[in-house]
A and B are shown apart, each in its own frame.
Chain A
Amino acid sequence: MAMNCLIKNGLLVDPVADRYGEYDLMIKEGKIVGVGKDLAGEGLEVIDARNLVIMPGLIDLHVHLREPGQEEKETIATGTRAAAKGGFTSITAMPNTIPSADSASVITFVKAKSKEEGVVRVYPVGNITKGGVGRELAELADLTEAGAVAFSDDGLSILNAEVERYAFMYGKLFNKPFLLHCEDKNLTADGVMHEGTVSTRLGLKGIPAVAEEVIIARDLLLAEETGARIHLCHISTKRSLDLFRGAKARGVKVTAEVTPHHLTLTDQEVAGYNTATKVSPPLRPLQDVEALQEALIEGAIDLIATDHAPHTKEEKHQEYSLAPFGMTGLETALGVILTKFYHTGKISLERIVQLMSVNPAKVLNIPGGTLKEGSPADLILLDLNTEWEVKKDDFISKGKNSPFIGKKLKGKNLATMVAGEWVYKS
């Protein structure tokens, strides 16, 4: 039930509305109806947000909700609650479910189920190709009409450049971005971590950085040639960044995301064979991590996405090479970014809102990213100074496969509102 209320005395960070400071927010019927100083809200419930920061709800463009088909890993119910806890009010549902979201029926199912059991807004992503295996185009018009906000075969790249070229051409019928996971499966082969000194020491099969870069280079060229709008998922190397920046400068319609884990963890984390560190693309060496950090600080990267990829305890509790790729991220992303970038003075709160709310909304062409009058009342209240330790038992997500377990973070979401309704309170 949407409520009418007045949030008073919080520090509002809303770069789109050009507001940074103490403002009151009046909320009615799920929308922001007033923003100002000392608003009087007779008869409204008043929430005192003194010492708290109010931000537009975060938007995660890269989430694996696993439903339908892998409900043992995550469900729409658990995944959206994890999102709400982490401060996200809108998330995508990536299409590598079982069955794959290559038909309107899966998109319809995800939307219906999210409405019934979800607590945040869920935007399904449809496949580019049937089954997401890169051979034949999926019915993109059907997917669009059913409500897909983007197309992706995430987890895999379309290895056949002809198939991708046709997808990019045909895709011009729709104003939807292609979300591209960039890795050449022939080059990644059966690798399980970044190929380098650490993989050599650990005796684990490496994934060379060039496996990512070679596909990014190709995808950028195909996008340039066809005029398609593409979004590079979780880029992780310095050379990927250089390729991306070069293409953007030439006018290619491209955006890119980085993940909190690629921004803050190196391949050294794999020593000890903790399978929570196994992720695709893999954690990279320090020079790549530093290049990503610099690019983020300079403003070259469009957005931060989590690539939340939950797995069961049993799947992750086995030999490193046999465990599946992926780590959870919804419940740690904001804390990690605040700790590593805000509290170190490297990026501002406005920039965090841009990276985690405004720009993902823009790329997906969905509402959100601002709390100006008339916007949906999707917001979070956070305490910048709460220090907390990431603990396995505290996760709402079914997936406990986080490499941040045991790490101390500073800054935490305390409450999440979606369409005027509190969906999470700590």
Chain B
Amino acid sequence: MSFSRKHLLGLEDLEAKEIIEILNTAVPCKDIIKREIKKLPTLRGRSVVTLFFEPSTRTRISFELAAKRLGADTVSIAINTSSVQKGENFVDTVKTVEALGADFIVLRHSVAGSPQLLAETVKCRVINAGDGAHEHPTQALLDLFTLRERCGEIAGLKVVIVGDIMHSRVAKSNIYGLSKLGADVTVVGPPTLLPPGIEELGVRVMTDLDAALEEANVVNVLRIQKERQQKGLFPSLREYTRLYGLTKERLARAPRDLIIMHPGPANLGVEISEEAATDPRSVITTQVTNGVAVRMALLYLMSGGENGDELLN
């Protein structure tokens, strides 16, 4: 089997077997990273452009490292959104980027649906690196990879995603990916941060984090944006932390083998305490390493690679 998608816009339309293929391919990729083989020739002569309309150092660097390991040329373009609003049009910008000779555009944008618009506008391949509150598929893929590495199997895992589900692309891509691979997902947050109809995506919805954690195997803690408080969605960060933060005390009551995840960057002391982030049960730094492996696998498969085995030679 080969991965035949032209673009990766989200996990909603991927099939389980396609997700598994990416995860399988990421296994040898991770070995390559660990063995410190500098470069593979797979993407030699190809260019991967990271086009970020929203700053995210870690996602951008992760993509660039992945592309470089496969021998691609990388170009990173960061666009200040304030200048875009002053009339620099998205469609014009992306056409220019394509004309400069991109084979892949990795797009981060604050507006949901922008990767779709990009894919409709250019001829090159598009990878969504996060669009508004829509999807962040590679984050979910690296989360899945990390869980599979830890637990062997995703089916049957009880995963709690806690925090700002309303505005979270990470939550959505995780929900799609986890559900397709047979995990049991619960989302937890204050009612103001739970989007309408989220249960129709096949998740359980709860508002009490302690109760949700009782049976959980995994907790994925989402970053809380401080401006949500200013918009009146909850009264204070202090109260948010008390109700939904993964604090030392709450962790002490949680199952002993609970796996702790966070997509980063964390607001330590707000949604997660420093103790929880550095607890032996935390896989947060592993997630970062795995991000490169998963993105390598994706670039490899999208550029026509058949299966991961040849990566080992």
Do A and B make up one complex? Answer: yes
- Name A residues whose Cβ lies closer than 8 Å to a Cβ of B: 195-206, 272-273, 314, 317-322
Stretch of B98-106, B190-198, B257-265, B275-283 with 4 or more beta carbons under 8 angstroms from chain A = B190-198
Asked whether, in the complex, the Cβ of B196 is within 8 Å of the Cβ of A197, the reply is: yes
Q: Which of B109, B112, B169 has the most CB of A within 10 A?
A: B112
Asked whether, in the complex, the Cβ of B196 is within 8 Å of the Cβ of A321, the reply is: no
Contacts of A197 in B (CB 8 A): 196-197, 200
Contacts of A201 in B (CB 8 A): 12, 172, 197, 201
Interface residues of B in 173-223 (CB under 8 A from A): 195-198, 200-201
Answer whether A272 and B116 are a contact pair too, CB < 8 Å, given A197-B200, A203-B169. Answer: yes
Asked whether, in the complex, the Cβ of A319 is within 8 Å of the Cβ of B198, the reply is: no
Report how many residues on chain B are interfacial, defined by Cβ distance under 8 Å. 24
Stretch of B62-70, B130-138, B289-297 with 4 or more beta carbons under 8 angstroms from chain A = B130-138
Asked whether, in the complex, the Cβ of B198 is within 8 Å of the Cβ of A321, the reply is: no
Asked whether, in the complex, the Cβ of B89 is within 8 Å of the Cβ of A318, the reply is: yes
Contacts of A314 in B (CB 8 A): 89
Indicate if B91 sits at the interface (CB-CB under 8 A): yes
Contact of B111 among A198, A206, A319 (CB under 8 A): A319
A/B pair count, beta carbons within 8 Å: 65
Indicate if B40 sits at the interface (CB-CB under 8 A): no
Q: Which residue of B lies closest to A194 (CB)?
A: B196
Interface of B, helix, strand, loop or mixed by DSSP? mixed
Contacts of B132 in A (CB 8 A): 203-204, 321
Answer whether A322 and B201 are a contact pair too, CB < 8 Å, given A200-B195, A204-B133. Answer: no
Asked whether, in the complex, the Cβ of A273 is within 8 Å of the Cβ of B91, the reply is: no
A322 vs B196: C-alpha distance when bound (angstroms) = 23
Answer whether A202 and B89 are a contact pair too, CB < 8 Å, given A197-B196, A319-B117, A321-B132. Answer: no
Of the A-B pairs whose beta carbons lie under 8 Å apart in the complex, a sample of 13, sorted by A's number, is A200-B201, A203-B133, A206-B196, A272-B116, A273-B112, A273-B113, A273-B116, A317-B91, A318-B89, A319-B114, A321-B112, A322-B90, A322-B111
Interface residues of B in 244-267 (CB under 8 A from A): none
- Sorted from nearest, which 5 A-B pairs have the closest CB atoms? A197-B197, A203-B134, A273-B113, A203-B112, A203-B133
Answer whether A204 and B201 are a contact pair too, CB < 8 Å, given A317-B91, A318-B90, A318-B91. Answer: no
Contacts of A204 in B (CB 8 A): 112-113, 132-134
Asked whether, in the complex, the Cβ of A196 is within 8 Å of the Cβ of B197, the reply is: yes
A206 vs B112: C-alpha distance when bound (angstroms) = 12
Asked whether, in the complex, the Cβ of A196 is within 8 Å of the Cβ of B196, the reply is: yes
Contact mask for chain B residues 72-91; partner A; CB cutoff 8 A; 1 contact, 0 none: 00000000000000000111
Asked whether, in the complex, the Cβ of B135 is within 8 Å of the Cβ of A203, the reply is: yes
A320 vs B109: C-alpha distance when bound (angstroms) = 12
Contact mask for chain B residues 146-161; partner A; CB cutoff 8 A; 1 contact, 0 none: 0000000000000000
A206 vs B194: C-alpha distance when bound (angstroms) = 12
